Amino acid sequence: MLHYYAATSQSTITRTLILWLLSNVGGTLWLAFDFASDRLEDYSIALMSGLVAALVSLAMVPLVVPFFTLMSGLRANWSRRTLALSGVTLFFLLANQLLLLLLPINSLWGLLPMSLPYWVAAVLAVLWLYGPARRVVAVG
């Protein structure tokens, strides 16, 4: 039983860090493309936004790992993908609330254009990480 918990926890940590990396890289690339499409010199704004997003979301990782470990242990009737999507959305909203406290932005609607690419990248990462198992077919 302890071995199962350790293996599950290790898998959860690995997937959480992969999810963190993919959502930050994807969101920053999206913002860089968006900013550079108007003026090429504005890509640095996206890179600085990406650095802030990475730091804020890295602060969420210690909360995400126990959440995913707990949710995977509950054996609810939800699929792992549904649990991961709900977790990503919950922590996206939590990170946005933290950003509202730290940045001089008045409302969530003012923050969404900068943070929404990170949520979309996180959702795509969840769909990839928790997608259907790929089957290897032996030929011959």
75-116: per-residue pLDDT in tens?
Answer: 667 787 888 898 899 888 988 888 888 878 888 888 888 889
CB atoms near residue 113 (< 10 Å): 10
Mean pLDDT across 31-57:
84
Residue 102's SS3 state is helix
Predicted confidence (pLDDT) at residue 131 exceeds the cutoff of 50: yes
Token digits for 28? 């920053």
Q: Give pLDDT, residue 76.
A: 63
Number of helices and strands in the chain (H, E): 4, 0
- How far is the C-alpha of 78 from the C-alpha of 75, rounded, in Å? 8
Q: Give pLDDT, residue 4.
A: 45
Decide: 33 and 62 in contact? Cβ < 8 Å.
no
Phi-psi region of 36 (alpha: psi -120 to 50; beta: other; left: phi over 0): alpha
- How far is the C-alpha of 135 from the C-alpha of 110, rounded, in Å? 44
The better pLDDT of the pair 132, 63 is held by 63
- How far is the C-alpha of 128 from the C-alpha of 14, rounded, in Å? 14
Share of the chain above pLDDT 90, in %: 16
